Amino acid sequence: MRRLTHTLVFVVRFAVIGLAIAFVIGLFWPGTGRQLRARLGLAAPAPATTAVTTVGSHTLPTQEGPVSYADAVARAAPSVVNIYANKLVTEQPTLPEPLRRIFGNVPTGPAYTRREQSLGSGVIVSDDGYILTNNHVITGAQNIQVLLYDGRVAQAQVVGADPDTDLAVLKIDVSDLPAIQMASTATRVGDVVLAIGNPLGIGQTVTMGIVSAIGRQLSMANPEAFIQTDAAINFGNSGGALINARGNLVGINTALLGHASGAEGIGFAIPVKTARRVMQQIIDTGHVVRSWLGISYTHVPVPANSGLPAAARGVMVTGVYPGGPADKAGIQPGDILLKIGAHNIVDPPHLYRRASAMPPGTAVTLAGVRNGRSFHVKLKLTRRPVLSDTARSRG
Q: How far is it, in rounded angstroms, from Cα 64 to Cα 222?
A: 39
Backbone φ and ψ of 318, nearest 5°: -110, -15
Choosing from 79, 238, 291, 296, the catalytic residue is 238
- Listed in order, strand segments (DSSP E) in 111-238 are 112-124, 130-134, 143-147, 153-162, 167-172, 192-197, 205-216, 226-229
In angstroms, the Cα distances linking 24 to 12, 19, 61, 82, 318 are 19, 9, 36, 54, 80
Please, what is the Cα angle at 195 between 190 and 197, to 5 degrees? 170
Q: How many CB atoms lie within 10 A of CB 4?
A: 8
Choosing from 164, 166, 191, 335, the catalytic residue is 166
Q: How far is it, in rounded angstroms, from Cα 77 to Cα 194?
A: 11
Choosing from 118, 136, 164, 347, the catalytic residue is 136
> For residue 264, what are the contacts with CB-CB under 8 A and spacing of at least 6?
none
Q: How many CA atoms lie within 13 A of 75 on its CB side?
A: 17
> For residue 256, what are the contacts with CB-CB under 8 A and spacing of at least 6?
233, 234, 237, 266, 267, 268
| 136 is a catalytic site residue | yes
| 212 is a catalytic site residue | no
| 356 is a catalytic site residue | no
Active site (catalytic) residues: 136, 166, 238
